[in-house]
Amino acid sequence: MDDREAILFRKLEAEEKNDEFIAVESQTFLQAAMKNFRHNKRALAGAVILLIVILLAIFGPMISPYSYETQNTALKNAAPSAAHWFGTDKFGRDIFVRILYGARISLMVGLVAAIINLVIGTVYGGISGYIGGKTDMLMMRIVDIIYSVPAMLYIVLIMLIFGASVTSVMIGISISSWIDMARIVRQEVRSLKEQEFAMAAFVIGASDKRILFKHLLVNTVGQIIVTVTLMVPQAIFTEAWLSFLGVGISAPLASWGTLAQDARALIEIYPMQTAYPMLAICITIFAFNFVGEGLGTALDPKAKR
């Protein structure tokens, strides 16, 4: 028994104690966010749906035997069947394929608008927030002026000048929607630059460019990603709405909005023809919102621990 006591009461060597032990597992910011995101069922469902929609939009039309413009007068307003999953429209065109083509246009409009917002908004907001003072004042008043004109007006004007095309819709949507992004980034940068790590970067001699991009904007990535994710459905919605009103993309190209518009005349006889594109819009927008919301919690720095 004495042996045992000796073993138990042996003094520990310094190496055995590990007093600088760090219990938490090391993971990068994105790893942590991914883990959090994966535990969020709604966000995960949204991401899966989005993936399916995107894959369908890319590959669906390639595989399908129908094209979006081939008319088949023998088969007008057909009910859904094995050959035509969603039936055909008043010109005998396959609605399913037209919705897949619509997805291409809608998603592209959404993505391009979001990217334009991302670039302009981040840089503009970042610079405005970082420089502060009079420059910030001036830059924000410019933004206010742009914002005070209804977005619709820009779109209609651009359509008038450049004609109704996918490009003008994209430009029209982007022209005022980057402002939200700029405002969010500016706010974040303004509060971050007061933090001591920004001051530390200044003291070691970092240039303004380095402080803004490497220290401040990097820390707004979470906010930016969330905002972008939520901007895509907004743009999709605006495009659909424009096309539905008839100022957006014109035939024979089909976005979800134009599909709904085309089917509107027959809504009392063939309500499903309007319902399909609307459903597509709903599902996609929901999916984006779920993903955005999930990213929001996953990337929130305050949610740590």
Q: Which residues bind another protein (CB under 8 A)?
A: 5, 7-12, 17-24, 26, 28-29, 195-197, 199-207, 210, 215, 218-219, 221, 301, 304-305
- Shortest approach of another protein to residue 9 CB, angstroms? 5
First CA to last CA distance, the chain: 45
- Shortest approach of another protein to residue 214 CB, angstroms? 8
- Shortest approach of another protein to residue 125 CB, angstroms? 18
CA pair distance 262, 89, nearest whole angstrom: 9
CA pair distance 61, 196, nearest whole angstrom: 54
- Shortest approach of another protein to residue 222 CB, angstroms? 10
Per-residue tokens: 153: 């007006």
Q: Which residues pair with 94 in a beta bridge?
A: 88
By C-beta, is 8 or 62 nearer to another protein?
Answer: 8
By C-beta, is 11 or 134 nearer to another protein?
Answer: 11
Residues 6 or more apart whose CB falls under 8 angstroms from that of 194 comprise none
What count of other Cβ atoms lies within 10 Å of the Cβ of residue 8? 7
CA pair distance 219, 228, nearest whole angstrom: 15
CA pair distance 81, 91, nearest whole angstrom: 17
By C-beta, is 7 or 82 nearer to another protein?
Answer: 7
By C-beta, is 134 or 305 nearer to another protein?
Answer: 305
- Shortest approach of another protein to residue 183 CB, angstroms? 22
Per-residue tokens: 273: 């023809």
- Shortest approach of another protein to residue 30 CB, angstroms? 10
By C-beta, is 90 or 190 nearer to another protein?
Answer: 190
- Shortest approach of another protein to residue 39 CB, angstroms? 9
CA pair distance 100, 67, nearest whole angstrom: 10
- Shortest approach of another protein to residue 202 CB, angstroms? 6
| Cis? peptide before 61, omega within 30° of 0 | no
By C-beta, is 18 or 148 nearer to another protein?
Answer: 18
CB 47 within 8 A of CB 298: no
Say if residue 213 is exposed, middle or buried (CB neighbours under 10 Å; 0-12, 13-18, 19+): middle
Residue written as tokens 């996918």?
166
By C-beta, is 28 or 73 nearer to another protein?
Answer: 28
By C-beta, is 24 or 74 nearer to another protein?
Answer: 24
